[in-house]
Structures are given as structure tokens and as C-alpha cells.
Amino acid sequence: MKLIAGLGNPDVKYINTRHNTGFMVLDRILEKKNLKLQEKFKSFFAKDGDVLYLLPKTYMNLSGFAIVEAMNFYKLNIKDILIVYDDISLPLGTLRFRDKGSDGGHNGIKSIIKETGSSNFDRLKVGIGPQPKNMPSEKFVLENFRQEEKENLDIALNTAMNASLDWLQLDVQKLQEKYNKSHI
């Protein structure tokens, strides 16, 4: 069993914000696979064979609670999960796979590390930058993408969708070689 979780905020007012990039990637996977969401694990989720797709309803800063609930239910190992989320330090269109690391200042990742007790999980960072110099990061991540970014966002989301699905078949080193770059 594998788990792919996209991070975001469930309230409709956040639907098109930069911080919901993880949700946007998962939405594309669900649409491509024609999967319908259910509610459990403090999340919206869909199951497709031995893969669980998860969108936590806990809001970004408490994402770890939903991840742990699903992991415990399915008795998943920390290496059986992929977390897809926004990264403010990467330009829009840039992807980065990592198999461990710090939270990098991302509160969703901080929550997952705290609740799982480990930072050794696979992650796919999706660039949402650059952040304007005089804008606080808290404000920037809760902004909607600008109209002139939409075409590049579409490319980034489709590439991240394919990268997430490739994760089911490939090890992180191969994924890094294939995807760790700008795609626009």
C-alpha cells in the first residue's frame, strides 16, 4: 500500500492559492483516474487498488494528524508515503524530489515530521515563487496565482501529476534525475 498526499487548505476561499498547490496536483490525479472522493482520516481521500490519495481537511499547519491517521489505519511505513506540496523558494515550474530533510520553514511538513516522528519520507516540492521582496511569505502563499502565471502553472501541475504517479514505479534517485529541474 502506498499513500500520496497533497497538502493544502480545504476552505473554498483557498482553492486557487499558492499554498494549495499540493491539492491541485492531487485533483489532477483524481480527475485523470476518474476517482471520487470520500471522507475519512480527517481527509478527503480516494483509493485505487493499493494506492491511497489523500487531501487532509486539517488545514496546512495540522497536516500531520491526517497523514498519521491514514498511516496507522493501513499500517504504512514512513517510506510508503509521498507528500506533494508548494515550495516558496523554488520558481514556478520547478520540481524537487527529496527522500528526507528538514521542514524548510513549511508548516505542513513541520506538522508531518512532528506527528510521524520522522523526516525520512519522500516529498515532491512544487515551486510557487518567486516571492516579491517586500511581501511576507504568509501573505504570498495565500495569494491566488496571477493570470499571467496560469499557463506555466498548468504545465507545472501536469508535470507534478506525472511525477507523483511515476513515484509509484521509480525510486527517488531516478525521479530526481528525471524531474528535479524547471519544466517551463
Q: Which of these, 57, 53, 54, lies nearest to 42 by C-alpha position?
A: 57
106 is catalytic: no
**C-alpha pair distances (Å), 123 with each of 83, 134, 152, 153, 161:** 5, 29, 21, 19, 13
Active-site position among 18, 19, 125, 183 = 19
Distance CA 60, CA 55 (A): 10
Distance CA 184, CA 181 (A): 9
Residues taking part in catalysis: 19
